[in-house]
Structure formats: C-alpha cells, structure tokens
Amino acid sequence: MRKEILISGFGGQGVILASVILGRAAAVYEGLYAVQTQSYGPESRGGASRAEVVISDEPIDYPKTLHPDYAIFFSQEAYQKYLSQLKEGAVLILERDLIPRRNEEVEKNLNLKVYALPLTEIAEETTGLSLTMNILTLGFFVALTGIVSREAIEKAVLDAVPKGTEQINLKALHKGFELGEKALKGEL
C-alpha cells in the first residue's frame, strides 16, 4: 500500500507543517513507514512551497511522489503546476477562494475526485484565525480518506503545534473531521 500525498501552496500557509504532522501520525502513531520531503526556494514567506509525504506499510525505497494519489493545493500556482501529475482517480482538495481558475478538462480526463472548499474562510470562522487552515484541512483529509486514524493525527497535531495553541488547533482539526464526514455522505 504505497500512497503518495502532495501538498502545495505558498510559504506561510503551513504546507510544510501539515506534511510533517501527517508523516508523524503515520510513522510514529500508526506504525507505518512514512517519508516527508519538502522543496523550497530561498524565500520563506510568499514563495512557492511544496511538501510531499509517502506512506506505506513496507519500507519506502524511492522517497518522492511520482503520481500522487492525493493532493492538496492552496494556490493557483500549485494547481497549475502539478494538476497534470496526479494519478488517475486521485483525490484532490482545493482552497477554492485561492484557485479561481480551474482546468475542468484535465480534472475530467484524470477522473479526479475534487473537493473545493473555502478552507481559509472556514478556518477563520471556526477559530478566528485563518492560519489554522492547514490543520483544518488535515482533519478534512484524514476523515475523508482514512489514511491514518483520527487519534493518530490528533496526537501528531499536539506534538507539533506551539504550547498554548493546542485547543485552537484541535478545534480546527475537529471542524475538518466534521466536513470530511459530510463530504463522505455527499452532503457538502
């Protein structure tokens, strides 16, 4: 079971942190194998940010994503750059408000399952902080795909977020779970 996840957006959105938390949940709390890699330019904020997680039940040889089974895009640039790399039938989560231009032809040809939500807006409504968007998205992703358990991702979130922000991040995560459940029931 090798699963490849690609997360991309711009620096400052918490792309890398989300990937680290996901990898940690799989490797430390699920006993799976996981590799997290990232690519970044010299600029830390505003530049393109891309992180990859490979999760498997056996040791991982090639550590990068080739044709992601899952992708999460937070920017128009990420969408345009990586959409065509996705595996046929991949699950794609989009920050709807930041990706106004979509390529329906590619989405259809690749038979993608697309979930486009105003993730930043929902995060802000839920916690009052738009920067919890990455954690909220993780919750959505985990509830939707079951790639790791909710307990595992919750523990990994608590390991990774700064002291004093645990409750606010858990709130965002749980809102993500709730949205994921809705999506599974076709209620989104």
66 near another protein, judged by CB under 8 A: yes
Q: What is the 3-state secondary structure (H, E, C) of 105-123?
A: HHHHHCCCEEEEECHHHHH
CA 168 to chain centroid, in Å, comes to: 18
The residue from 11, 17, 28, 155 that contacts another protein (CB under 8 A) is 28
Among residues 124, 156, 26, 9, which one has the least CA distance to residue 71?
9
- Looking at residue 78, its amino acid is A
Closest approach of another protein to the CB of residue 31, in Å: 9
The residue from 11, 17, 37, 129 that contacts another protein (CB under 8 A) is 37
Place of tokens 């056996």: 58
Closest approach of another protein to the CB of residue 126, in Å: 27
Q: Where are the beta strands (DSSP E) in the chain?
A: 3-10, 33-40, 48-56, 70-73, 91-95, 113-117
Q: Give the residue with the Cβ less far from another protein, 64 or 108.
A: 64
Closest approach of another protein to the CB of residue 172, in Å: 21
Q: Are strands 70-73 and 48-56 parallel, antiparallel or unpaired?
A: unpaired
Closest approach of another protein to the CB of residue 181, in Å: 27
The residue from 1, 41, 104, 105 that contacts another protein (CB under 8 A) is 41
Q: Give the residue with the Cβ less far from another protein, 60 or 168.
A: 60
Q: Give the residue with the Cβ less far from another protein, 34 or 71.
A: 34
40 near another protein, judged by CB under 8 A: yes
Enter the tokens of residue 159: 């390991």
Residues interacting with another protein, by CB under 8 A? Answer: 20, 23-24, 27-28, 33-42, 60-64, 66
